[in-house]
Homo-oligomer: A and B are copies of this chain.
Amino acid sequence: MKAEKIPDIIVGRLPIYLRALQRMADNGLKTTSSQELGERVGISAAQIRKDISQFGDFGKQGTGYSIEYLLNKLREILKVDRVWDVVLVGAGDMGHALVNYQGFKNRGFRIAAIFDADKNKVGRKVGEFVIEDAENLVEKVKALDVKVAMLTIPATAAQAVAEKLVQAGVKAILNYAPISLNVPDHVKVQYIDPSTHLQRMTYYL
């Protein structure tokens, strides 16, 4: 099925399809069409058919897609048919919000540990977690064998912490710090920066 690599641009749309299909399933729907899915996600039916055909032959002409089948396939392709442990570095407001965020459940992720460099925070609790000392980051992350991290720390500290995470074996970083990270090619980074996202829209206003 994954004989050929799926282009990045398509990989980027698959989580959007997965999220919409999950919602349909939660609402009790059993089948859908590229038309209906397209309306939900704001992508053309033709594009959806093309994207989905990249990784196999789903759905029969005229009968649409089985939501359950497509969900399972997408989870398998995106490797969220399992649960990934995630370490969170930064126990500030954003870190707290992520600990309390309900949107990781059933989507392939669970927070495994939280770190902060502020000695006044170390030992305190955030939700069910005790904040650990960022000094022990490399050792602890190695011991936990975690491959995914979220960074919610100031920009000034982000590069150094990212390097520690890479050293500890982390392969994917979701970076909330408003700075671009330099990491080896085998490490993936995604960025969440509300100002950057807003600036992408103000151009059009």
Contacts and interface: CB of A to CB of B under 8 A. Distances in A.
A109 B11 CA distance: 31
A180 to B, nearest CB: 5
Given A15-B200, A172-B205, A202-B148, A195 B103 contact: yes
Contact of A201 (B92, B94, B188, B200): B188
Most interface-central of A42, A78, A193, A195 (chain B CB within 10 A): A195
A73 interface: no
A187 to B, nearest CB: 9
A164 interface: no
Contacts of A155: 23
A86 B178 CA distance: 19
A163 B115 CA distance: 39
Contact of A93 (B18, B77, B100): B100
A82 to B, nearest CB: 9
Interface string A162-205: 00000000011010001111100000101011111111111111
A58 interface: no
Interface residues of A, number: 61
B103 A19 contact: no
Contact of A11 (B39, B94, B203): B203
Given A40-B180, A172-B202, 7 more contacts: A42-B180, A79-B203, A148-B198, A171-B204, A174-B197, A190-B197, A190-B201
The 3 closest A-B pairs by CB, nearest first: A172-B201, A15-B199, A93-B97
Interface of A: 6, 11-12, 14-16, 18-20, 23, 39-42, 77-80, 84, 86, 92-94, 96-98, 100-101, 103-104, 107-109, 147-148, 150, 155, 171-172, 174, 178-182, 188, 190, 192-205
